[in-house]
Amino acid sequence: MSKRLIFLGPPGAGKGTQAERLAASAEIPHISTGEILRQAITDGTALGQQAQAFMDKGELVPDSLLVDLVRERLQQPDAASGWILDGFPRTVAQAEFLDQLLTELQQTPITILNLEVPKEILVERLLARKRKDDTADTIRRRLVVYQEQTKPIVEFYSDRQVHHINGDRTPEAVEQALRELIST
Ligand code: AMP
Q: Dihedral (C-alpha) 181, 170, 85, 102: value to the nearest 10 degrees?
A: 20
Q: Which pLDDT does position 42 carry in this prediction?
A: 98
- pLDDT tens digits, residue range 55-96? 999 999 999 999 999 999 999 999 999 999 999 999 999 999
Substitution site in 8, 37, 68 for ligand 1 pocket (most atoms within 8 Å of beta carbon): 37
Report the distance separating Cα 93 and Cα 64, nearest Å: 10
Substitution site in 41, 90, 137, 148 for ligand 1 pocket (most atoms within 8 Å of beta carbon): 90
**Statement: residue 137 has pLDDT above 90:** yes
Ligand 1 atom closest to residue 37's alpha carbon, by position in its atom list = 8
Q: Which pLDDT does position 183 carry in this prediction?
A: 84
Is the bond preceding 109 in cis, omega lying within 30 degrees of 0? yes
- Cβ(110)–Cβ(6) below 8 Å: yes
Q: Which pLDDT does position 34 carry in this prediction?
A: 97
CA 169 to ligand 1 centroid distance, Å: 24
Q: How many residues does the chain have?
A: 184
Q: What are phi and psi of 22, to 5 degrees?
A: -65, -40
* DSSP β-ladder status, 4-8 and 83-86: parallel
- pLDDT tens digits, residue range 123-134? 999 999 888 889
pLDDT band at 180 (very low <50, low <70, confident <90, very high): very high
- pLDDT tens digits, residue range 11-52? 999 999 999 999 999 999 999 999 999 999 999 999 999 999
Side chain identity, residue 140: R
- Cβ(36)–Cβ(18) below 8 Å: no
Q: Which pLDDT does position 105 carry in this prediction?
A: 96
